[in-house]
Amino acid sequence: MTDILAAACIAILVVMALALIRAFKAPTVYDRVLGVNMFGTKTVLFIAVSGFLMGRPDFLDIAIVYALINFIGMVAVLRFFEYTSPIE
C-alpha cells in the first residue's frame, strides 16, 4: 500500500511541475491563472496523500486550509482582472 502512495506522490509532483511550466509559458494571462490554480489544487492533493503516507491525519486540516486560501486567492485575482485590462 505504501508503494502505491509513494508512486502517487511522485506522479503528483510531476503534474505539479507541468502546471508550473504552464503557468510560466502560457500565452495569455488567463492560461497562467489556470496553471497557478492547477498547481494549488495539486498541492492540496499532495499534502493530503503525503500526510496519509506518513501516518499524520492532521495534514488533512492543513490541506483544507490551503484549499480555502487557494480558492479565495483565485477569486481575488480573477476579480482584479475583471476590472482591469491585463497586459499580455
Distance CA 57, CA 71 (A): 22
pLDDT at residue 9 in the model? 93
**CA torsion angle for 74, 30, 48, 58 (degrees, to 10)?**
-20
pLDDT at residue 35 in the model? 93
pLDDT at residue 28 in the model? 87
pLDDT at residue 82 in the model? 80
pLDDT at residue 83 in the model? 83
The pTM (predicted TM-score) of the whole model is: 0.85
| The C-alpha cell that represents 8 in the structure block | 502517487
List pLDDT tens digits, range 7-64.
999 999 999 999 999 999 999 888 999 999 999 999 999 999 999 999 998 999 999 9
Q: What are the sequence ranges of the domains in the chain? A: 2-83
Backbone angles phi, psi at 24, to 5 degrees: -90, -30
